[in-house]
Amino acid sequence: MKLLLNYFSATGNTAKIAKVLEEAFAAAGAEVDLHDITPYSRRREKIELKPYQAVVFGAPIHSWRAPRLVREWMRTLDGQGKKCSMFFSYGGFGVHPTHYSTRKILEEQGFIVVSSAEFPASHTFNIGGWRAMAGRPDVTDFAAAKEYAERTYKRFTGEDPAVTGEFEKTDYTEETLDAIEAFRFKVLTQLPGRGGDDCSMCMICEELCPSGAMNAEPGEADKEKCIACLGCVHNCPDSVLKINDMSQGWALKLQMEQITEDEMRKKKSRIYL
């Protein structure tokens, strides 16, 4: 069986899970094509799904959904009745309604969703001083990822004929979720920028920016395009791209989410089959 494993990963967490899944699917007998859809250019290429018997989609959770760029890209696909599975990395806070809403998009595009999974991972905003899920994903998450691939593979081959069950529906409208998404800029008050610092002008920040927001020349992000993924800050070899210090807001974030750091650390990877 030939599988296409797509993933979006700005700071590498989802990519780590994708790598484990690739190996586990291959060990189960699949021929896997790993396809990184993070760069802007990759999402513009037409994807030929004909050679594949099944497709896997991986993304981080951004404000309770798959990132906008991923949702938009999914809407360009023709699922042709193929089986697919989903997986998400998330920073220890909200997950709902990501599984439900992403499955809805994929089904509307003609896919049959057979499984899903979520994996705790270091929160992107730890770059700015938060302390959510540091050190994750770890060996326990990788073991869960392996199990997820093994069980999903049986659904892909038909050895297990089931499709995934219902996910908890959401009462939030797309407009409300858009407003929640916009709220990230209340936390990230200073978009990635170089300020007065010199750099080697390697252009990596501009080339890797998934939304086309980063202009390496002045070292500035365009607020209209930026999705706050912090890939540019994470990947800058000279470490000169900065954001605002978010450490002051960490205690308030925990209070708002009604969770402690200890409770958060106990969260485990979950497989939905």
Ligand X SMILES: Cc1cc2nc3c(=O)[nH]c(=O)nc-3n(C[C@H](O)[C@H](O)[C@H](O)COP(=O)(O)O)c2cc1C
Q: Which stretches of the chain bind ligand SF4, using CB under 6 A? A: 10, 192, 194, 199-205, 209-211, 213-214, 216, 219, 221, 226-232, 236-238, 240-241
| Partner whose binding site includes residue 209, from ligand X, ligand SF4, none (CB under 5 to 8 Å by kind) | ligand SF4
| Partner whose binding site includes residue 202, from ligand SF4, ligand X, none (CB under 5 to 8 Å by kind) | ligand SF4
- Within positions 43 to 102, which residues make up the interface with ligand X, using CB under 6 A? 60-64, 89-94
* Minimum distance, C-beta of residue 17 to ligand X, in the bound complex (Å): 8
Compare residues 10 and 84 and give the one whose CB is closer to ligand X: 10
C-beta separation of 208 from 241 below 8 A: no
Helix (H, G, I), strand (E, B) or coil at 75: coil
Question: Which residues, other chains included, contact 74 with Cβ-Cβ below 8 Å and sequence gap of 6+?
Answer: 57, 66, 102, 105, 106, 109
* 102-109 own/partner pairs: CB under 8 Å, 24+ apart: 102/57, 102/59, 102/65, 102/66, 102/71, 102/74, 103/164, 103/167, 105/66, 105/71, 105/74, 105/75, 106/57, 106/74, 106/79, 109/74, 109/75, 109/77, 109/78, 109/79
Please report how the helices 139-157 and 13-28 are oriented relative to each other, as an axis angle in degrees rounded to 10.
50
Compare residues 89 and 116 and give the one whose CB is closer to ligand X: 89
| Partner whose binding site includes residue 237, from ligand X, ligand SF4, none (CB under 5 to 8 Å by kind) | ligand SF4
Binding mask 124-143 for ligand X (x = CB under 6 A): x-------------------
| Partner whose binding site includes residue 200, from ligand SF4, ligand X, none (CB under 5 to 8 Å by kind) | ligand SF4
Q: Name the residues that contact ligand X, by CB under 6 A.
A: 9-15, 60-64, 89-94, 121-124, 184, 228-230
